[in-house]
A = this chain, B = another copy of it.
Amino acid sequence: MPARWPVRLATVADADEVAHLLDDFNTEFDAPTPGVDVLAARLRVLLAGEATVVILAGSPAVAVAVVTVRPNVWCAGGVALLDELYVVPSLRGNGIGAAMVAELLSLARHRAVDLVEINVDEGDVDARRFYERHGFTSTEPGSSERAIYYYLELSS
């Protein structure tokens, strides 16, 4: 059980710690990262605003979840997207990810969010099972139709 690593919402004061975890995340998965200092500067802005929520587990933190909340015309409440979920490698399998998702859903209900979303790599069977266990689905009731995530990067 993750009682040793209680979940909490990050504040601006946690920006450096969040930045380190996110930098470790992308480094582990060979994804580009702008580095800890750039991330920490952005996080100080984002954590002071309403649209971004960061969940941490433990102190010092051993897991991070980044969530963005946005409005949607089809529901009275908002939509929350789980942008990132990372647990340090040595502590995986301890239920920390599950505790983070539980906190996300609790937070979503508290904020009157109607829909929680996440994009999961098709081949990442473990992650897909993990989210399905928590009630997420990729198809609508009575349909086998899934939606595929498409993106376009704009060069600045």
Q: Which residues of B contact A112 (CB under 8 A)?
A: 156
A149 touches which one: B134, B135, B146 (CB < 8 A)? B146
* From B52, B131, B150, contact of A119 by CB (8 A): B150
- Tally chain A residues at the interface, Cβ within 8 Å: 58
- Inter-chain CA distance A114–B153, complex, in Å, is 6
Most chain B Cβ neighbours within 10 Å, of A43, A109, A148, A156: A148
Cross-chain contact A151 with B122 (CB below 8 angstroms): no
What sequence of 0s and 1s flags, for each residue 72-105 of chain A, a beta carbon within 8 Å of any chain B beta carbon?
A: 1110110001011000000000000000000001
| Chain B residues within an 8 Å CB radius of A116 | 151-152, 154
Nearest CB of chain B from residue A64's CB, rounded to whole Å? 10
Task: Determine if A61 is an interface residue (Cβ-Cβ < 8 Å).
Answer: no
> What are 20 pairs between A and B in contact, CB < 8 Å?
A34-B74, A42-B76, A51-B70, A68-B72, A105-B152, A105-B154, A115-B151, A115-B152, A115-B154, A116-B152, A116-B154, A117-B150, A117-B152, A118-B151, A119-B149, A120-B147, A122-B145, A131-B150, A136-B152, A137-B152
Q: Given contacts A68-B70, A105-B154, A136-B152, could you give 6 more A-B pairs where the C-beta distance is less than 8 Å?
A: A22-B73, A112-B156, A134-B152, A135-B152, A136-B150, A137-B150
